[in-house]
Copies of this chain bind each other. A is one copy, B any other.
């Protein structure tokens, strides 16, 4: 029996067993980091997830088993695919990768009361035991014991994924599958934008990668009065302009762009910096372009410590700096839903490709060449 048959079976006889669960295929398709070298390997007969019961395909008391229909490919997945220094140090060989998806709940544990079989869902991939200070005060996304789907435990590049009910987000019927599949990175953009607060503010976004571009359309929808974007890729800058940037700059062409920001803002600098690149030069020039008393939200991750002028960039300036990680459960998700439903987000230009699951290699090539931005894998295609 092939994996796609398995999926078909689950679809053909859904939700009919006594405990409300669909009949499951015995094995599934999955993208696995099978070897300690670059690449991902497609497996056609991977066993289903086990969850807390340890029994294949059976959710623990508070878990849900989800059939994945679409999955987004993240920059993090590319790190794992290319097997860079960070990936080698963090990713256990043998893991199923992937953490962005949409799917349908096919089975739940007996203590599950917050979601139900048949619901179309996506999920928050930051998983915690729920007992530490952060988890218990509305900040589970930065819990000490937080483990990430597809990074620290088996992920969603597979026909099935198992998750605690408290990580599952029922998708509003007005949100298309393709967008539901990328609510994880979109949530990063929304969390960054909403943390900083952009309403009637001038905003500089340094770095027009996937999340940087999402931040452009989110910032515009969230009420930014003026949006500046820097990147070193002309195509990205053009796209940024198309979806909402008022000014775009390639900083390799000199520092004049900082003067342009000064001249176009009443406070001699932008009100808000959203740092999305992790590049040292972008961080430094971003802070230079920030006005006194401004707010910087940092999402991009510098590869290592670097020579930083804390006095000039933060202290003398009276700046507020926000470290941003993940997304807030579930405040960010509601904000995201509101923004999507408002029709203001221009995501179609950012989600450039949808490919059948088995063509995952092409997805990574599109990202590497820059011809694609966000690529979504379709497990039903």
Contact = CB atoms under 8 A, between A and B. Distances in A.
A141 interface: yes
A299 interface: yes
A1 interface: no
A44 to B, nearest CB: 33
How many chain A residues sit at the interface, stated as a range, is: 35 or more
A314 interface: yes
Given A314-B323, A318-B324, A319-B323, A335 B200 contact: yes
A130 B109 contact: no
Contacts of A308: 305-308, 310
B338 A225 contact: yes
Interface string A312-334: 10111111111111000111001
Contacts of A318: 139, 141-142, 323-325
Contacts of A62: 61-62, 111, 113
B292 A302 contact: no
A143 interface: yes
B225 A339 contact: yes
Interface in A113-139: 113-114, 129-134, 136-139
Contacts of A136: 329-330, 334
A347 to B, nearest CB: 15
B335 A292 contact: no
A222 B199 contact: yes
Contacts of A317: 142, 323, 325
A194 interface: yes
B133 A334 contact: yes
Given A144-B292, A226-B338, A298-B310, A221 B200 contact: yes
A197 B307 CA distance: 29
A17 B307 CA distance: 56
Contacts of A268: 132-133, 144
A319 B131 CA distance: 20
B226 A223 contact: no
Interface of A: 60-62, 109-111, 113-114, 129-134, 136-139, 141-144, 190, 194, 197-202, 221-226, 266-268, 278, 283, 291-293, 298-299, 301-302, 304-312, 314-325, 329-331, 334-335, 337-339, 341-342, 344
Given A60-B111, A132-B268, A225-B341, 14 more contacts: A61-B111, A62-B111, A133-B267, A137-B138, A137-B331, A139-B293, A142-B292, A223-B223, A278-B311, A298-B310, A301-B316, A302-B310, A318-B325, A320-B320
